Amino acid sequence: MFATRQKISLAATLLTVWLCLLLVAAPAARGAEELALPDIGNPSGNVLTPAEERRLGRAFMRSIRNSLPVIQDPLLSAYIQSLGERLTSANEDAAGNFEFFLINSPQINAFAGPGGYIGVFAGLITTTESESELASVVAHEVAHVSQKHLVRTYDAVNRMSLPAAAVAIAAVIIGAATDNPDAAVAAATGIQAGMMQREINFTRAHEEEADSIGIKTLAAAGFDPTAMPVFFSRMGKASRLYDNGKLPEFLRTHPVTSNRIADAYGRAGDFPYQQRRDSLAYHLARERLRVMAFNNAAEGIAFYSKALADGRYRNEAAHRYGYALSLTAARRYTQADELLTGLLQKHPDQIEYVAAKAELEKLSGQAALGVETLKRGLSEHPGNYPLSIYYAQALLDLGRPREVKPILERQLNGRPDDTLLYKLLAQASGDAGEKTQGHQYLAEYYYHTGALNSAVMQLEIALKDRTLDYYESARMAARLKEIRAEEQDLEARDR
């Protein structure tokens, strides 16, 4: 039964306040002696059932996709997911599935949502000076999830329906993690100061716990555990260059104090120093994001040609890769091909180089050659997500949709929330003449991007197909009923 409007409004306000404090409260000071973490409850406690937490997380993610520019680039998505999975494997409390995704924004920040959904802004990756620094922030966010900080906060107002709660959580995170935090703070009006102070103390404990477990996770995953205090220190120095009203988003949501830095150094000192070389994938991801941020291809060409000529780069191969991408975008295919050929000679199995070569071949009028390049890549890396996506897109461009569906459907088995897969499957089904299935896939695409009304319309169209058998029709009708119920719940919340 849906909550009344009054209950939803009150719960949303309380949840907004508590989550806002969770995101922006500074950690408590640490004394000279070792600080014992406060007991804030067993993270394995069942605040929500696993099924409820998954539902809350998925609804949260739909709201995020509907509000922020989530990057759908297969290579970048695969990299951040791979990094995240390495960290979750090293965190003994990180049970269940985690989904890591990137936000196309120069802001320096990251956030954790319920159900294991962790967002990383592009600006964080391009700002970090090592992969361990990036991992330190992600490990901190993983700890928020593994210790169920958000879920335990949600428990205080669990009279809300899950879809409404998910929207409230997303609204607060967007307000606090972007350059519009006032939207989240505004809901605090009218809450007693005593309640707010109690929650501030609670969220300080959350931050301490996330730092501590994050550093432990870094060490267990083979990253440099001192990377967290090093990054904090660099951010702390940067904060002196800004007025309080113009702080980078990371400094608003992860306040850096001298005590916090000292605390992190102290905890990192408990682990042996690990000198670790950054992966090539990290450097390639940084340059791919940099290329995406340029205003035009000429800007990228000027940047990379000068950096390579002056020897000013962190990784030469990655800079050559960025240069090749910029040259390709400028249609200077011969120069780009020379660069990519040289890169492939040294690393013939590097996914990023294979995909860039195939893209160049397609754009230069050799689409069939590009398909063969991707096919060879998949034979070397069976089931690889980025190559599967690029191969499917290339086949669609050549008018071969029936070959595409089995490739994408295999990927969908392990990525049931992937919006890009649903979008491509909708196109492949439509191009293959399977219009009803195309509407079903398009409905799922709209649903997972938060456009519930459009999802309902697509299913209604699909159900008009008189050739559907009983079981398929019943399954689709049940899905339609489920989405309509969620849509009505959100409408009730907004009234």
Q: Classify burial at 236, counting beta carbons within 10 Å of its beta carbon; exposed 0-12, middle 13-18, buried 19 or more.
A: middle
Q: Closest by alpha carbon to 57, among 171, 176, 165, 157?
A: 165
Distance CA 77, CA 71 (A): 7
State residue 284 phi and psi, 5-degree precision: -65, -40
Rg (CA), the chain: 24
SS3 sequence of 410-461: HHHHHCCCCHHHHHHHHHHHHHCCCHHHHHHHHHHHHHHCCCHHHHHHHHHH
Q: Is 38 left (phi over 0), alpha (psi -120 to 50) or beta?
A: beta
Q: Copy the structure tokens of residue 445.
A: 């695409």
H or E segment and range at residue 166: helix 162-177
CA dist 393 to 31, 350, 354, 424, Å? 57, 20, 15, 8
State residue 349 phi and psi, 5-degree precision: -105, 5
Q: Copy the structure tokens of residue 222.
A: 């083979």
Q: Copy the structure tokens of residue 212.
A: 């501590």
Catalytic sites, residue numbers: 141, 211
Q: Copy the structure tokens of residue 77.
A: 């998505």
Distance CA 363, CA 326 (A): 13
* Bridge partners, residue 111, by sequence: 119
Length of the chain as a residue count: 495
Distance CA 177, CA 184 (A): 10
Q: Count the helix, strand and coil residues of the chain and give each as a percent rounded to the nearest 5.
A: 70, 5, 30
Residues 103, 340, 278: CA angle, nearest 5 degrees = 50
State residue 70 phi and psi, 5-degree precision: -70, 130
Q: Classify burial at 446, counting beta carbons within 10 Å of its beta carbon; exposed 0-12, middle 13-18, buried 19 or more.
A: buried
